[in-house]
Chains A and B, each alone.
Chain A
Amino acid sequence: MTKSCEHAISISGLNVSVGDIILLEDVNAYIRCGETTAIIGPNGAGKTTLLSAMMGLIPYEGKIDFCMTGEHGGGAPRIGFVPQRIDFDRGMPVTVLDYLCLSQQKMPLWLGKKSDIKERSLSNLDRVAAAHLAERPLGKLSGGELQRVLLALAIMDEPDILLLDEPVSGVDMAGGELFCDLIDELHREKRFTLVLVSHDLSVVTSHADHVICINKTVQCQGKTVEVLTKETISRVYGLHVGIYEHGKCSHHYGDEK
């Protein structure tokens, strides 16, 4: 990513509605280049909707501008996305390696896998500690394993921006910890812009440089330490929420429930 880009994504006057229901109203926000930005807010606040709009998957009004000087030259940046979970037919005979190759290879998989694509897929699996899963059917993976495979798929194209939707919900504590470690490691190595959606404040405080609090519209945004005050949290979430104070170590994934 070139230095000239301060904001990887600039959002202005964003409105999203389905029928009469307003999901997002006049959202103005920016995502800083190369840093980690967390989008937080209560359930139904429009966090996932905002991600979908950034990826251009849903119609919206307003402007979402991307910094056009990505690492891969000019033009639109590459976006990688790891969904919260995927619901799929677990009986499909698709191996983990198949799944990664499907997205990269033009030649139909029934004519075999190209060796360079196979190698690249395997090395990406290795980056997310999932090389041993290559020949495993996709339907036989645990939640944490599937999430790492989806991460491997998301980083196959060496994205400029990586979007994570609720990265640790639905995964057990060890799995969540591993996942966050991997993300940290990849982020240090590649310096992509990382955007994560979470309602788990402990994940946010330990990982994000910047925070955008939304509830239909932006409630506040800025540096994590400045934004996550008691007042803003109770404004966004309601009265009875506070940050669960963890110790000093770097990873906390909020499985205190």
Chain B
Amino acid sequence: MEALFEMVYGLMGALLPFEWIAHDFMKRAFIAIIFMAPAAAAVGIHVVNFRMSFFSDAISHSAFTGVAIGIVAGIDPVYTLVLFGLLVGGLIVKMRKKSDLSVDAIIGVAFSTSVALGIVIISAKRGLTRDLHSFIYGDLLAVTEGELALMFLLAAVVFLFSVFLYNRLILIAVSEEVSRTKGINTALYEYAFSMLLALVVCLSIRVVGILLVTAMIIIPATIGRTLSKSVGSLFWISTLTAIISSLGGLISSYYWDSSTGATVVLASAALFIAAQIVKAVRGY
């Protein structure tokens, strides 16, 4: 795999002869963001439609525990954080089906329990707080090649998902009842989508950190919603604004010497405000 990455870096050096991308860590950051930003946005469209941003927040905060378990057990925290995120996501969906409690109450319980568990583990084991920092704020510039490979795989899965299931997910979002009469197994789609979202959230934590993951997922989709009038343009506007804001954020953070993840989110927030202004001026 090392040889492959050497080749990719060489190619990028030739194609993008800019100062900001001269270092290998910037090349890795560039690759990470070029895969994860549109993947997060493509998933984010459905997160906004299904009103699942609180769910996404709960998964990202479960990373406190996921990372803590990994560090205590001596496993790479990226793996434990993904596994724990999937576990929490699965539990929430299951509880939602079985319980009379409202969704936000269930998520609230899962959310706080997993954060509390993480804090208990971390506080009992002194010296872990420092490792946790890179997960709370994100550490795009420290992304490893192994993580890049995971991100590439996930982006490919999200792409296939968007090709084959996009229409059906929108159909379900408009009316679950009507979709079921059209023979769509909506419960299966709900599970599959929730698990995919959990994966995207967990891997996006490396890019923007626990606190800002949900922003990375939903802001491009809210821009898409603001500016588009149809289902087709919703997809394009969301994913393209995600790419533009993440590249803008990455380059700005290099020159400002600021946190990359936060700068990326700020760039998309700026686009969000611009979209609102455009909409107000155009008046639809």
Contacts and interface: CB of A to CB of B under 8 A. Distances in A.
Given A83-B177, A138-B174, A93 B182 contact: no
A98 interface: yes
Interface in B53-73: none
B233 interface: yes
By size class, the interface of chain B is 20 to 34
A251 B156 CA distance: 56
Ordered nearest first, which 7 A-B pairs have the shortest CB separation?
A: A110-B235, A81-B181, A108-B166, A86-B175, A98-B231, A102-B167, A102-B171
A137 interface: yes
B162 interface: yes
A81 B182 CA distance: 9
B225 A91 contact: yes
Contacts, number: 92
A108 B82 CA distance: 29
B279 to A, nearest CB: 12
Nearest to A51: B181
B229 to A, nearest CB: 5
B166 A109 contact: yes
Interface residues of A, number: 32
Given A95-B230, A102-B167, A110 B174 contact: no
A255 to B, nearest CB: 26
Contact of B170 (A81, A94, A106): A94
B283 interface: no
Given A81-B178, A93-B225, A110 B231 contact: yes
Contacts of A88: 173-175
B180 interface: yes
A93 B167 contact: no
B180 A57 contact: yes
Contacts of A91: 225
Interface string B148-187: 0000000000000011101110110111011011100000
Interface of A: 55, 57, 79-81, 83, 86, 88-89, 91-95, 98-99, 101-103, 105-106, 108-113, 137-138, 150, 153-154
Contact of A86 (B162, B177, B224, B235): B177
Interface in B214-251: 224-225, 228-236
Contact of B235 (A79, A80, A108): A108
A137 to B, nearest CB: 7
A103 B175 contact: no
B229 A86 contact: no
B252 interface: no
B253 interface: no
Contacts of A110: 162, 166, 231-236
B171 A103 contact: yes
Contact of A93 (B162, B164, B166, B231): B231
B181 A108 contact: no
A102 B230 CA distance: 11
